[in-house]
Amino acid sequence: MEYDEFIRLVAQRAHVPEDQAAPLTRATMLTLAERITGGEARDLAAVLPPEVAPPLVPPEDVAQKFGVDEFVRRVSERANTDETVARRAVRAVFMTLQQAVPGKEFQDVMDQLPNEFQDI
């Protein structure tokens, strides 16, 4: 999947303009990189468009432990938007990731997240 298509899908699914979908995607990917192990983040980055992948290179290999609410709060803060928009964007990015990456790779990412992420 190309970057433009990825952002277009996030924008449609989050009900935001494309120019807002790009920073929301970046904030989500950066937060995801903090939440999963460095090895998994690098594996995911390898199958994504290069413009989406850079925030996935984590500063450390150890995953931080936090739930959905903290994930959304961090995305909201990073994208300078309210938590309602951030939650829709996180959901949209995850849906787009599921479509954009091989099924096993997406499942490997989801396996590192608490079950509450399945509902987002």
Q: Fold for domain 3-119?
A: Globin-like (1.10.490)
* pLDDT beyond 90 at 120: no
**Tens digits of per-residue pLDDT, 1-45?**
899 999 999 999 999 999 999 999 999 999 999 999 988 998 999
pLDDT of residue 53: 87
* pLDDT beyond 70 at 59: no
Q: Which residues of 30-64 are buried (b: 16+ CB within 10 A; e: fewer)?
A: bbbbbbbbbebbbbbbeebeeebbebbebeeeebe
Query: Between 53 and 27, whose confidence is greater?
Result: 27
Percent with pLDDT over 70 in the chain: 98
The domain ranges of the chain are 3-119
